[in-house]
């Protein structure tokens, strides 16, 4: 069974930029959206993601926290494009930067469009209590703040957040 253990952080500074090994532009949308999850009508999000000429369908449990069930499957690019443009409630675009540091793989998402200005670092772990490096560019942890979940950024983008929300200080309902 697929399980993802992931911590999310805001960034304190741009020190990570010199460590980027590669970057890729991504577009993604959700077939089961945040509103259905919030209303208790869905137990998972269903995402379609395209990066270059590769596409995936992802199913992730709608539970709060750093450990969630996750399943991901490669799908034909043409199918992904159709799902994204015809069946999703919107498209989220971002550039994912890959940083390796002391054996840990950080994925730093630089969001675009209505989410421009938002940067989130994620690190996947082998266990909930696994150690990971904490470089000075890693800011406050926002793993349990639902507004930072990608599924919520389509209906309530970063451009609409208050200054306190942007700093991770205020948790409001999405």
Give every residue of the chain whose pLDDT is below 70, as ranges: 1, 170-174
Q: What is the per-residue pLDDT for 37?
A: 85
Cα 142 to Cα 16, 64, 73, 130, 165, distances in angstroms: 18, 11, 27, 17, 11
Q: Which two tokens stand for residue 117?
A: 């200005």
> What integer pLDDT is reported at residue 26 of this predicted model?
98
pTM for this prediction:
0.92
């Amino acid at each position: 069974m697929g399980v993802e253990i992931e911590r999310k952080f805001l960034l304190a500074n741009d020190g990570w930029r010199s460590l980027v090994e590669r970057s890729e532009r991504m577009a993604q949308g959700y077939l089961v959206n945040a509103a259905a999850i919030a209303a208790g009508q869905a137990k998972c999000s269903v995402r379609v993601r395209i990066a270059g000429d590769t596409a995936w369908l992802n199913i992730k449990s709608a539970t709060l926290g750093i450990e969630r069930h996750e399943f991901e499957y490669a799908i034909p690019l043409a199918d992904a494009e159709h799902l994204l443009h015809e069946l999703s409630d919107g498209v989220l675009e971002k550039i994912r930067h890959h940083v390796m540091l002391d054996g840990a793989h950080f994925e730093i998402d630089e969001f675009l469009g209505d989410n421009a200005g938002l940067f989130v670092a994620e690190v996947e772990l082998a266990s909930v209590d696994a150690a990971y490096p904490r470089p000075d560019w890693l800011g406050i942890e926002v793993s349990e703040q639902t507004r930072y979940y990608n599924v919520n950024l389509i209906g309530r983008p970063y451009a609409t957040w208050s200054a306190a929300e942007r700093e991770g200080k205020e948790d409001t309902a999405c």
